[in-house]
Amino acid sequence: KAGVTQTPRYLIKTRGQQVTLSCSPISGHRSVSWYQQTPGQGLQFLFEYFSETQRNKGNFPGRFSGRQFSNSRSEMNVSTLELGDSALYLCASSSTGTEFEAQYFGPGTRLLVL
Amino acid sequence: KQEVTQIPAALSVPEGENLVLNCSFTDSAIYNLQWFRQDPGKGLTSLLLIQSSQREQTSGRLNASLDKSSGRSTLYIAASQPGDSATYLCADVNQGGKLIFGQGTELSVKP
């Protein structure tokens, strides 16, 4: 069974631009979560989607948004990029997104904002 | 605010040594705890998930324990190998599956 895939793997953008990242979960998984990883803040939860609905959201500004499609693939969008948005963005999938299941992560998208 | 702490931040051991990585959490109502491994520049690999009703889980040379009363979890690695070198992260699994991560322990196993 294929794992979680994320595209693109690397991105370079300039301040003020917007970016869209994509995540395809493990086949059959309906929950997708997004995390931001930076050297200073570590791994922080962005949001979680299940069956096209956002169920949970972390403490990030409204510039960070996401959506999920009917095939469970998810996209994350960051508008008006700031230097501090440079990070590794990871998505994770699980079958139903409950606290009783292990979550499986993709390889991440490394975003550099210049 | 729920917090997860991992000490030490870095650890270097010679090959073949048994070692323990520590994880402390403030969430007294913890559901589960998950251990991950992260290689440089890569994503996270799930190692073990311990449910709150369990005290430990084992997978190969890895054994993880969970003590809710003391707010601690440990990851025991037996007979360490250079290939075990990575950053190890523990995460408090909240209701709804939201993960709260520690800062990780960077492990280096020297041949």
Q: Which of B80, B88, B82, B91 is nearest to B104 (CA)?
A: B88
How do the pLDDT tens digits run along chain B, 111 residues long? 789 999 999 999 999 999 999 999 998 778 899 999 999 988 999 999 998 888 899 999 999 999 989 999 999 999 999 999 999 999 998 877 889 999 999 999 999
Q: Is B62 on the interface with A (CB under 8 A)?
A: no
Q: Which of A90, A85, A89, A87 is nearest to A104 (CA)?
A: A90
Dihedral angle of Cα A89, B98, A104, B88, to the nearest 10 degrees? 80
In chain A, which residues have their Cβ closer than 8 Å to the Cβ of B51?
Answer: 100
Q: Is B74 on the interface with A (CB under 8 A)?
A: no
List, for residues A16-42, the tens digit of each pLDDT value. 999 999 999 999 999 999 999 999 899
Kindly determine whether residue A92 and residue B51, on different chains, have CB atoms separated by under 8 Å: no
Kindly determine whether residue A43 and residue B46, on different chains, have CB atoms separated by under 8 Å: no
pLDDT at A97 over 90: no
List, for residues A42-75, the tens digit of each pLDDT value. 999 999 999 999 999 999 999 999 999 999 999 9
Q: Is B102 on the interface with A (CB under 8 A)?
A: yes
Kindly determine whether residue B97 and residue A98, on different chains, have CB atoms separated by under 8 Å: yes
Q: Is A90 on the interface with B (CB under 8 A)?
A: yes
Residue B91: per-residue pLDDT: 95
A19: number of Cβ within 10 Å: 18
* CA A75-B38-A102 angle, 5° bins: 65
Shortest Cα distance from B43 to chain A (angstroms)? 4
Shortest Cα distance from B9 to chain A (angstroms)? 12
CA–CA gap between residue B40 and residue B42 (Å, rounded):
5
For residue A91, CA distances in Å to A48, A74, A98, B70, B84 come to 9, 9, 16, 31, 24
Average pLDDT, chain A: 95
